[in-house]
Structure 1
Amino acid sequence: MDQITPCLETFLAELGIEQATLKLITPKWKRTQYRAVINWLTKYKPATDASNLDQVRGYLEAFHYLCEVEAWNQALKILVINITYPENEQLHNQLFTWDIIEIY
């Protein structure tokens, strides 16, 4: 399966999160959450045959940690990022297409 997401390292820069300034974030619990965002967006590499959900897991985990620190604008950028499969759709729309999110 081809990679369906854009470059995660580039997206981290679009979020305005820099590893170099991470140590300046206080309190420590908040810095830990941002470290998790960085790790999910730079270190997570899905298998070549990963499911669609696994292909976007780095984004979903980063979204979770941004919500934990109430970084709503940054979290929103994750939901509206365009993924490349199948039709360059925004992530939140594609999740509905894949039937990953259920509407109650």
Structure 2
Amino acid sequence: MRAQIERNQVAENDNWGNPLPPVFAPIGDPLPCFVWSNSSREVVDGSKTAMIEDMRAMFALGADVREADEIPQVTDRQGNLLVPGRLKVEGPVQRKHTHLEAALQRIG
């Protein structure tokens, strides 16, 4: 699996001190990774229904992955789409003995 990491390039505030809208741009080449889903569940709140999926990703120890980075999609080595949609790195990236592990949140 491969994931192109995108990082917010805007870290400034407007004239009233509010953060400007994020502008995500790719950094480096797509990183080798492994993305999986631990579980998914449906939440019903009145007339609204939402699917919540617990997704995680593993990266090599030297990978440049940070909290709040985004992944537009996950592909295989040939570029075939495996996991569609935008994913956001949620919370700090955890360093394990042999890899980095990140919790992912689907955006949209």
Question: What TM-score, normalized to structure 2?
Answer: 0.25
- Give the structure with higher Rg (CA): 2
| Higher strand proportion | 2
